[in-house]
Amino acid sequence: MSQAKSWYKHLPPVTPGAPFYFFLDPCAGLDRVRLSEERAAFFERTEKTKPFHYTWMTTKEYRARFGCLSFSCEQASELFRPVSVPLTDGTEVPGFLDNNPAHPIIYTKPDQAFRIPHRVLEAGRADVTGVVHSLAATVWFWRGVLSAGKEELTWPEGTGGPSTIERIRERCHVVGDDSQTSDLNAADPEIEALLRPERKRLETEMISAVRRVRHLIFEGA
């Protein structure tokens, strides 16, 4: 999940972050094609399937790594691609490839969307910031955050407190003009070290959310 989207663009850079919801989806890892407002079709992704996103992987690989685990976040950008779906009689039906994780919905039938119950959403909630993404460790990212100055930046005491922001600010000043570096997307080692405790905290929170959902469904239902 940490690299599934460019979260450094879409999430608040610091706490409290934005809510993510983890849940189980029988169609996790499949391509979802919307045929109409109410109807969707699902297809296995194979080596012959055209990749949809830079995090693309086959259904087989997804299931091997994550099973039927899925997540949603309203801050996720949504991408759609026109496609044609072949029917059993050979005719083609137009639709839109929609693998977006913006909403906590699963399909129990092609024409039956099911919103995840509140009880499961609460169990599977984790509040996440843009720090979770690898590009949050770049100088150019923090220059943008610090220059915006829209609100006070807060940092959890348990992972460094306010001094972390000041140390990042000092590092951005010391490094100089990022345009002189060969790889703008390379993590700055000092910023990476400063972010590591908070990133670990966020990952731990997400793992805890997954475990709560697992316990609710398989043990506490």
Total structural domains within the chain: 2
- 117 prior amide bond cis, ω within 30: no
Give the pLDDT confidence score for residue 182 in this predicted structure.
Answer: 53
Residue 71 near residue 21, CB atoms below 8 Å = yes
Tabulate helix, strand, coil % of the chain (nearest 5): 40, 20, 40
Q: Is 64 helix (H, G, I), strand (E, B) or coil?
A: helix
* 181 and 94 within one domain: no
The answer to the question of residue 105 being in a domain is yes
Residues 141-182 have pLDDT tens digits of 999 999 876 668 999 999 999 999 999 999 999 886 544 555
pTM: 0.87
Q: Is 178 helix (H, G, I), strand (E, B) or coil?
A: helix
* 91 and 133 within one domain: no
Give the pLDDT confidence score for residue 96 in this predicted structure.
Answer: 86
Residues of the chain scoring pLDDT < 70: 87-88, 149-151, 176-183, 220-221
Domain that holds residue 157: 7-17+129-215
The last residue of a domain, from among 63, 98, 123 = 123
* 102 and 51 within one domain: yes
- Residue appearing with tokens 């080596």: 47
Give the pLDDT confidence score for residue 168 in this predicted structure.
Answer: 95
* 161 and 80 within one domain: no
Give the pLDDT confidence score for residue 88 in this predicted structure.
Answer: 66
Kind and range of the H or E run holding 65: helix 59-66
Give me the chain's average pLDDT, please.
88
Give the pLDDT confidence score for residue 123 in this predicted structure.
Answer: 96
Give the pLDDT confidence score for residue 195 in this predicted structure.
Answer: 97
* 78 and 42 within one domain: yes
